[in-house]
Amino acid sequence: MELLSVPRSLLSCCSNVTFLGLFLTVFVLLLDFLKRRKTWNRYPPGPSSIPFLGSMLQMDFRQPQVSFTQLSKKFGNIFSLQICWRNLVVLNGFEAMKEALINKSEDIADRPRFPLYEHMGICGNSAGLVLARYGRAWKDLRRFSLSTLRNFGMGKKSLEERIIEEAGFLNSAFESEESQPFDPHFIINNAVSNVICSITFGNRFEYNDKRFQKLLHMFEESMKLATGFLPQMLNAVPSLMHLPGPHQKILEIPKQIMRCLKEIADEHKESWDPAHNRDFIDAFLGEIEKAKGSQETTFNELNLLFTTSDLFSAGTETTSTTLRWALLFMLLHPEIQSKVHAEIDRVIGRDRRPELGDQVNMPFTNAVIHETLRCGDIVPIALPHMAYRDTEIQGFFIPKGVVIITNLSSVLKDETYWEKPHQFYPEHFLNAEGQFLKREAFIPFSAGRRVCLGEQLARMELFIFFTTLMQRFTFLIPENQPKPQLKPCFAVTSSPHPYQICAKLR
């Protein structure tokens, strides 16, 4: 009724203003789209784009590597896309990836903005390791992180002994299931995470520790929420983050993780002794103290939380997922499982604990682990790179600032390189004499400036955990249950669907 009392001329004026505002907004967005859609000479070809959405309708964001492979058949191994207003170039196949990641490593070492995480303070000199822009701050932090990880045992006997000890706890947890069917997912998560916890937090946790379990579940939930169409839209159109809706959960889980890590960091501060570093957090607190008063330093309290989160996440998810794939492949290929058992019995026996030094005498077991990483395709798409400067890859011009997507799956499944790219075939890593064979196209941890910081740690863990489990158990599909499916679940990592397993003592 109140509207009836408003003069029609005023209503008409308001309507015109609203329409004009809407028109101007659309016009500005369209101009911005056309500006960003500009092409360059020798720029990679790609599918057509539509205003605002770009090429998004041609993508399956739950399985982007599948979409990229299909598009590469039409446009070649290097092609362009547009996600809303952002220009992307996608690299596929071993030759393109080798030139980009190895020969032009610094050219593509930058990272794009991630507005989805900027609301947490991830920007500038406070972006952790994984999402940080390429430059001095990132170099200083990576150098410090690598040095500190080595100081706390990475690549040394001391850390190997911790992994061997944790493998014993993992064995005990499997044995407690008493050959009954169980899902190994979180038991494996607990064991793998405890290794990085011993480095970052200074101690391991019991598998039923409530705070530990909460942290693990939050990280896993965050990984799931970080993929798909919605996160892409939020990064492309950050203003959507201020609207209510289900996407708010994507924003809330990382905040909860940060609050949990802050509690741990605060506990460290209370008992911190500058003369004695117990773990990574203590070492970082020392750097913060040294850098007090510097405005340009990368060593600040936000970066302490972000870097710890990066290490915890990277040190848990990929290795845990790989071990779950390994056990699944053993269930589905009992003949391969028998060969691993035979090699363990011959080289180690059943009484002595496996050690990293055994690896050189166990080519078949080593090949099985490598083939698990290849066939399991654990990280199909690496985190986005961005051109740090104008560059060329295989004759195509890539301008500075363009986002570069490396489809690692296309290398690990490259049909021109692997004999049986879509099958689990450990012989990919064995020569005619049965000795272990290194393969150039094996890049599950990526390569170049942005190669995974924890690759060495992951390799140690995979060999010791897998060999220790295989020494102790025979893994069987539970009776009256269907054969587990190989179709993966996609998040940041490609993980197997939940499955049940029986661990029978050998």
pTM: 0.88
CA distances from 461 to 183, 329, 464 (A): 20, 18, 5
Cα distance between residue 157 and residue 162, in whole Å:
9
Q: What is the mean pLDDT of residues 157-169?
A: 92
Q: What is the pLDDT of residue 51?
A: 76
pLDDT tens profile 30-42: 555 554 555 688 9
The answer, yes or no, to whether residue 8 has pLDDT greater than 50, is: no
* 475-494 confidence digits (pLDDT tens): 999 998 888 988 888 777 88
More confident residue, 242 or 218: 218
Q: Domain spanning 136-505 has what CATH number?
A: 1.10.630.10
Please give the pLDDT value at position 9.
45
Strand partners, 381: 407
Q: Would you say residue 414 has pLDDT above 60?
A: yes
Cα–Cα distance list, 13 to 2, 318, 449 (Å): 17, 59, 58
Q: 388: which 2 tokens?
A: 């740090």
Model confidence at 50, pLDDT cuts 50, 70, 90, reads confident
Output the pLDDT for position 54. Answer: 77
pLDDT at 5: 40
pLDDT tens sequence across 265-318? 999 999 999 888 899 999 999 999 998 877 778 899 999 999 999 998 888 889
- Does 468 have pLDDT greater than 90? yes
The predicted structure's pLDDT at residue 23: 52
Q: Is the pLDDT of residue 121 over 60?
A: yes
Would you place residue 13 in the very low, low, confident or very high pLDDT band (cuts 50, 70, 90)? very low
Q: What pLDDT band is residue 15 in, cutting at 50, 70 and 90? A: very low
Tell me, what DSSP letter sits at residue 296? S
pLDDT at 238: 78
Q: Which residue has the higher pLDDT, 400 or 292?
A: 400
pLDDT > 70? residue 18: no
Dihedral angle, C-alpha 115, 120, 123, 127, nearest 10 °: -120
User: Mean pLDDT in the chain?
Assistant: 87
The residue among 112, 43, 34 whose CA lies nearest residue 387 is 112
CB burial of residue 308 (10 Å; 0-12, 13-18, 19+): buried
Q: Which residue from 116, 117, 134 is spatially nearest to 125, judged by alpha carbons?
A: 134
CA angle 325, 473, 486 (to 5 degrees): 20
> Does the pLDDT at position 11 exceed 50?
no
Confidence of residue 80 (pLDDT cuts 50, 70, 90): very high
357 DSSP assignment: G
How does pLDDT run across 232-269, given as a tens digit for each residue?
Answer: 777 777 777 777 777 777 778 888 999 999 999 999 99
> What ranges in 395-474 are assigned the alpha helix state H?
408-412, 455-472
- Mean pLDDT, range 110-129, rounded to an integer: 84
Q: What is the pLDDT of residue 2?
A: 35
- Quick one: what percent of the chain has pLDDT higher than 70? 92
Q: Is residue 123 annotated as involved in ligand binding?
A: no
Residue 360's pLDDT band (cuts 50, 70, 90): very high
